[in-house]
Amino acid sequence: MTAKITRRDFLKTSGLLAAGMALAACRPQVETEMAAPVGPSPPQTPWPTTVPADEALLAHTLRRISWGPTPEMFERARSLGLDAYIEEQLHPETLDDSEVESLLDNFETLTMTPGERDELEKRAQPIQELIGATLLRQWRSPRQLYEVVVDFWSNHFNIFIGKNQCRVLKTDDDLDVIRPNALGKFADLLSASAHSPAMLVYLDQASSGKRAPNENYARELMELHTISVDGGYSHDDIIEVARAFTGWSVAGRRDVLRKAGSFLFRRQMHDDGEKRVMDLAIPAGGGEEDGQMILDYLGHHEMTARFISTKLARRFVADEPPASLVAKLSQTFTESGGDTREMLRVLLRSDEFRNSAGQKVKRPLEFFISALRVTNARIGSRSRALVDYLRQLGQVPFFWSPPTGYPDTADWWMTTSGLLGRWNFGLLLAAGMIRGAEVDLESLTADAASPRDVVDVLSIRFLGEKLPDDARDILIDFASQGDLGDNLAGVAGLIMGSPHFQVR
Amino acid sequence: MTTKLSRRDFLKVSTLLGGLTLAPDLPGWMPRMAFAPAGVEPAGDILVTVFQRGAMDGLNAVIPHGESNYYDLRKTLAIPEPKPGDDQTGIDLDGFFSLHPSLRPLKDLWDDQALAIVHAVGSPDPTHSHFDAMDYMERGTPGEKKITTGWIGRHLQTAPWQNDSPFRAIGMGGIMQASLRGPVPVATLRSIADFHLQGRPEDLERLRRNLASLYSAGSALDAEAVETFSAVDLLSSIDVSTYAPEGGAAYPDTEFGLALQQVAQIVKAEIGMEVACVDIGGWDTHNQQGVLTGTMPALLDELATGLAAFYHDLGERAERVTLVTMSEFGRRAYENGSGGTDHGHGNLMFVLGGNVNGGKVYGEWPGLAEEQLYGPGDLAVTTDFRDVLAEIVQKRLANPNLEEVFPNYPAWKNLGVVVDGG
């Protein structure tokens, strides 16, 4: 990325990035939507393309492992070779993220304790800054695949930041649970999540005691985090898991042993009897170990392997993941001890992945970030309107209230309001009509002298390849009417509005 | 155009018209008939829900002035007992309940018998979490987190008719209400005026033509694009700028007022809308909520002015509209130390429309004596909110499939709040 935003601009930006969220924060019900089994099927075949096979594979891969490929990414991938590039992306620690890190210094709540966040006068500030930091990383970090995977796990272990104290706790979940474990072992991530105060509050575990165990976390732990609804558990198993986790709680202001907002095992609330969960027997008197035993058991279960594999394949390959790939990934999960990096390595080299071009529709957040990335947008000091578009498109990070995470299939997102919202965002962004976001189309097309060149340059920049002939002809015709310079915004807006830009 | 157009025909027409808007001279056949095949058009009322986000203090909105405990619990916040001719006191409804004076616009509707009140109503789930309570209420499944669809979504899904209008269900405010979740597509709408293609004005016609071409090359998204264009055209037939509410209606100049006004416009435009969800926030009054003036009275005024304007604006059309309000829970019966009230349990619902058995407060009053309060000191719930909604779904929305709309709630109680449409 060559776009420059000054630090000063950014300071203003971050405040305002944030400001758009404030309203939403007051209305905890917002953005509560679930997958609906309607709508058009996702594209089954990509449009015909004349691009050489290896270039097409490169573009396809970069679209899937990033928030929108930039020319810099293409350049790097071509010079390293695709396999080596994937390997580099799988090791984000080797990629310099200092620009983003230094901008993040401006988000003071990222380094505060939950107690400090809770004392802020601006109650929405922790929410605003975490969302701002997340968007910033997706937009500008060179660790693109890592940010995609972080988003995947953030949705798998979904926490709605608008629920009660999640407001001040989710930041730690992001920094200490999701990010350090995103490319690591699943069981470690699961255990970290189970100890995460934000999760314990979100799923009502923090207040669960032996007299009346709350089953919410127990249920979602099995259904959504590990073995899935098909995992073969009964309601009795849920009750047993709930008993085992009684006492897993969060320290409050009055607790002296731990800092407010950190994990606390409340022994006196724990049910110390013996339990049986599926084929796991837990002896009496295990205390805090009860829960850990269950996490170890579920974290390595073959149904967990299958469920995580299915979801990863849905994320990276197709809404209906190929069974052959799910089987392959499940095996990798089992053999590698649930190693996410290893699973991605297998996935990204699989034929199923390579043959899946055009089969995933961008979700609103992917659409939004990719538009900012490919247009090399400069985000100015008044970006409230910009973030408001994301809110309207319906996918602000951490604002999905049910524990399922944002749906990952096209049918949910492709609605009339959704499509109109994308068209308008693309057209307005290209025309410079979104306050706070500036796009310099002249410099993007500096070398293009003819309508044909303009269309090709912009489509390669936005899509990673030329448009198929019919769409290309439509746009060349458009660009040929009247002054070419006057048509730049139209061409750019139409490409972003086109069906081709809606897929990744 | 003597016969009804099928849905497909309609889409073709709108595609052929291309960049043109569906002309205003296409008469009133347009929506309901165009979208619904003969014989299966929507049989019931249009439903409008108003969700009061944050938990309204129902005890200070419709005051049980006939119960002295109220005055003991609300030392500083009590609304004075009704005194004829004194507009600084409650407005007597039936000798026991009175309206907060800021709800005065509702008194006409009450006298018209278009407004009913259900008191001590709410969710059986004891949660004091806004998030959980709203979620339960909007999904219509208290205590149950498994079911992912909303109660209105399930109503639309199971209604015994078809209606392909892109505006069959509308969530006002730009973000879809959870009650609308389900397989039937929902249009979210901030404002009618904004639901159109945007970009450089001088380019819009060309941009639209070219977008339409880009979505005619066989991509899987083509059908959705056609649908989107027809939705845009449909709404463009509604002129927002020159709209003059009827019946002397004056909407409050707020997001809520604008939302209700637009719902009225869409009702009148007959574009196939069956349900609309509207929100009004700000009811979480822990601090200094105000007695006769202040935060809560201002909200009550906004609410009442909006509802009254909506009813008057609809005129005779109100015969085919039923509006119901709800809030996730009520507030503590006793006031707190900062001039406000904390999260409670039972609350109230308003039901408004031309076929409401109005002029009456429904529900069994549980009382406010210490032993009658629920949990930490809350108004008890004697009527499940689903009783009110189920009755509306069956009698006014003409959907008999209540076991699907409110699963696991077979024995709903028939209060008689609305007229049975048959």
pLDDT in tens, A297-331: 999 999 999 999 999 999 999 999 999 999 999 99
Q: What is the ipTM of this complex?
A: 0.87
- Bridge partners of B323, per DSSP, are B48, B352
Asked if B202 is an interface residue toward chain A (Cβ–Cβ < 8 A), one would say no
For residue A185, the 8-state DSSP code is B
pLDDT value of position A163 = 85
Which residues from A are below 8 Å from B207, CB to CB? Answer: 427, 490, 493-494
Q: How many residues does chain B have?
A: 422
Question: Cβ of A26 and B215 within 8 Å?
Answer: no
Asked if B236 is an interface residue toward chain A (Cβ–Cβ < 8 A), one would say no
Which residues from B are below 8 Å from A500, CB to CB? Answer: 219
Q: Which of A40, A402, A427 is opposite residue B199, by nearest beta carbon? A: A427
CA triple B348-B350-B354, angle to 5 deg? 160
Question: Cβ of B206 and A490 within 8 Å?
Answer: yes
Asked if B147 is an interface residue toward chain A (Cβ–Cβ < 8 A), one would say no
How far is A319 from A489, CA to CA, in rounded Å? 33
How confident is the prediction for chain A on average, in pLDDT?
A: 89
How far is B303 from B291, CA to CA, in rounded Å? 16
**Nearest chain A alpha carbon to B174:** A392
Which residues from A are below 8 Å from B51, CB to CB? Answer: 29
Q: Which of A29, A35, A493 is opposite residue B178, by nearest beta carbon? A: A29
- Please, which pLDDT band fits residue A46 given cuts at 50, 70 and 90? very low
Under a CB-based contact definition with an 8 Å cutoff, are residues B264 and B257 in contact? no
Question: Cβ of B211 and A497 within 8 Å?
Answer: yes
Q: Which of A38, A160, A474 is opposite residue B213, by nearest beta carbon? A: A474
How far is A26 from A23, CA to CA, in rounded Å? 5
| Two structure tokens written together for A368 | 């939004």
How far is B238 from B230, CA to CA, in rounded Å? 13
Q: Which of B131, B203, B220 is opposite residue A162, by nearest beta carbon? A: B131
Q: Which of A403, A433, A499 is opposite residue B221, by nearest beta carbon? A: A499
Question: Cβ of B178 and A33 within 8 Å?
Answer: yes
Which residues from B are below 8 Å from A392, CB to CB? Answer: 174-175, 188, 190
* Minimum distance, in Å, between the CA of residue B315 and any CA atom of chain A: 30
User: Each residue of A446-500: pLDDT tens digit?
Assistant: 989 999 999 999 999 999 999 999 999 999 999 999 999 999 999 999 999 999 9
Under a CB-based contact definition with an 8 Å cutoff, are residues A401 and A344 in contact? no
Sequence-distant (6+) residues with CB within 8 A of B9 are: none
3-state secondary structure B135-154: HHHHHCCCCCCCCCCCHHHH
Asked if A291 is an interface residue toward chain B (Cβ–Cβ < 8 A), one would say no
Q: Which of B307, B385, B331, B392 is nearest to B118 (CA)?
A: B385
How far is A133 from A110, CA to CA, in rounded Å? 9
* Minimum distance, in Å, between the CA of residue A160 and any CA atom of chain B: 10
Domain ranges of chain B: 46-191+240-405
Asked if A45 is an interface residue toward chain B (Cβ–Cβ < 8 A), one would say no
| Residue with tokens 């989710």, as numbered in its chain | A170
Query: Over 90: is that where the pLDDT of A353 sits?
Result: yes
How far is A92 from A90, CA to CA, in rounded Å? 6
Q: Which of B51, B385, B17, B7 is nearest to B236 (CA)?
A: B17
pLDDT value of position A379 = 86
* Minimum distance, in Å, between the CA of residue A382 and any CA atom of chain B: 19
- Please, which pLDDT band fits residue A23 given cuts at 50, 70 and 90? very low
* Minimum distance, in Å, between the CA of residue B19 and any CA atom of chain A: 15
The pTM for the full model equals 0.80
pLDDT value of position A6 = 39
Under a CB-based contact definition with an 8 Å cutoff, are residues B282 and B43 in contact? no
How far is B26 from B314, CA to CA, in rounded Å? 22
Give the helix/strand (H/E) hosting B387.
helix B385-391
* Minimum distance, in Å, between the CA of residue B134 and any CA atom of chain A: 7
Read off the pLDDT of each residue in A413-432 and give the average, rounded to a whole number.
Answer: 93
Which residues from B are below 8 Å from A502, CB to CB? Answer: 221
Q: Which whole-number Å values give the CA distances from A74 to A69, A94, A141, A341, A368, in the listed order?
A: 7, 18, 15, 22, 20
Q: Which whole-number Å values give the CA distances from B364 to A359, B119, B370, in the listed order?
A: 57, 8, 17
How far is A343 from B26, CA to CA, in rounded Å? 58
Return residues 39-68 of B near A (CB < 8 Å).
51, 53
Q: Which of A185, A174, A222, A122 is nearest to A341 (CA)?
A: A185
Query: Over 60: is that where the pLDDT of A29 sits?
Result: no
Please list the pLDDT of chain B residue by residue as tens digits (422 residues): 333 333 333 333 333 333 333 333 332 223 333 455 555 678 899 999 999 999 999 999 999 999 999 999 999 999 999 999 999 999 999 999 999 999 999 999 999 999 999 999 999 999 888 878 999 999 999 988 778 899 999 999 999 998 888 899 999 986 789 999 888 888 888 889 889 999 999 999 999 999 999 999 888 899 889 989 989 998 988 888 889 999 999 999 999 999 999 999 999 999 999 999 999 998 999 889 999 999 999 999 999 999 999 999 999 999 999 999 999 999 999 999 889 999 999 999 999 999 999 999 999 999 999 999 999 899 999 999 999 999 999 999 999 999 999 998 988 999 999 999 97
Which residues from A are below 8 Å from B221, CB to CB? Answer: 40, 43, 361, 414, 419, 499, 502
Report the range of poorest mean pLDDT among A53-67, A75-89, A90-104, A376-390: A376-390
Under a CB-based contact definition with an 8 Å cutoff, are residues A32 and A402 in contact? yes
| Two structure tokens written together for A229 | 């609804």
Asked if A285 is an interface residue toward chain B (Cβ–Cβ < 8 A), one would say no
Under a CB-based contact definition with an 8 Å cutoff, are residues A492 and A441 in contact? yes
- Please, which pLDDT band fits residue A396 given cuts at 50, 70 and 90? very high
User: What is the fold, at CATH topology level, of the domain defined by B46-191+240-405?
Assistant: Alkaline Phosphatase, subunit A (3.40.720)
**Alpha helices of A337-450 — where are they, by DSSP H?**
340-348, 351-354, 364-374, 384-393, 410-413, 416-430, 441-444
What is the bridge-based pairing of β-strands B98-99 and B91-92? antiparallel
pLDDT value of position A17 = 43
Domain ranges of chain A: 1-184+301-415+425-437, 440-504
Asked if A35 is an interface residue toward chain B (Cβ–Cβ < 8 A), one would say yes
How far is A341 from A90, CA to CA, in rounded Å? 6
Q: Which residue type occupies A383?
A: S
Q: Which of B53, B187, B219 is opposite residue A43, by nearest beta carbon? A: B219
Sequence-distant (6+) residues with CB within 8 A of A334 are: A302, A305
| Residue with tokens 């800092």, as numbered in its chain | A259
What is the CB-side half-sphere exposure of residue A334 using CA atoms within 13 A? 13
How far is A289 from B39, CA to CA, in rounded Å? 64
Q: Which of B200, B205, B251 is nearest to B232 (CA)?
A: B205
Asked if B272 is an interface residue toward chain A (Cβ–Cβ < 8 A), one would say no
Beta strands of A189-278 (E only): which ranges?
Answer: 248-250, 263-265, 275-277
- Residue A290 CB-density burial (10 A; 0-12 exposed, 13-18 middle, 19+ buried): buried
Question: Cβ of B197 and A34 within 8 Å?
Answer: no
Return residues 288-317 of B near A (CB < 8 Å).
none
- Please, which pLDDT band fits residue A216 given cuts at 50, 70 and 90? confident
**Nearest chain A alpha carbon to B279:** A27
Percent of chain A predicted with pLDDT > 70: 89
Which residues from B are below 8 Å from A162, CB to CB? Answer: 131
Asked if A489 is an interface residue toward chain B (Cβ–Cβ < 8 A), one would say yes
Tell me if residue A272 falls in helix, strand or coil. Answer: coil
For residue A337, the 8-state DSSP code is T
**Nearest chain A alpha carbon to B148:** A34
| Two structure tokens written together for A490 | 């139209």
Read off the pLDDT of each residue in A390-394 and give the average, rounded to a whole number.
Answer: 88
**Nearest chain A alpha carbon to B133:** A29
pLDDT value of position A424 = 97
pLDDT value of position B2 = 32
Return residues 393-412 of A near B (CB < 8 Å).
394, 401-404
Q: Which of A394, A414, A502 is opposite residue B175, by nearest beta carbon? A: A394
Sequence-distant (6+) residues with CB within 8 A of A187 are: A295, A296, A299, A300, A337, A338
CB-defined contacts A:B, below 8 A: 171
Q: Which of B333, B414, B328 is nearest to B380 (CA)?
A: B333
Q: Which of B129, B219, B232 is opposite residue A499, by nearest beta carbon? A: B219
- Residue A323 CB-density burial (10 A; 0-12 exposed, 13-18 middle, 19+ buried): exposed
pLDDT value of position B41 = 72
Q: Which residues of A479-493 are buried (b: 16+ CB within 10 A; e: fewer)?
A: beeeebeebbbbbbb
pLDDT value of position B327 = 98
Asked if B203 is an interface residue toward chain A (Cβ–Cβ < 8 A), one would say yes
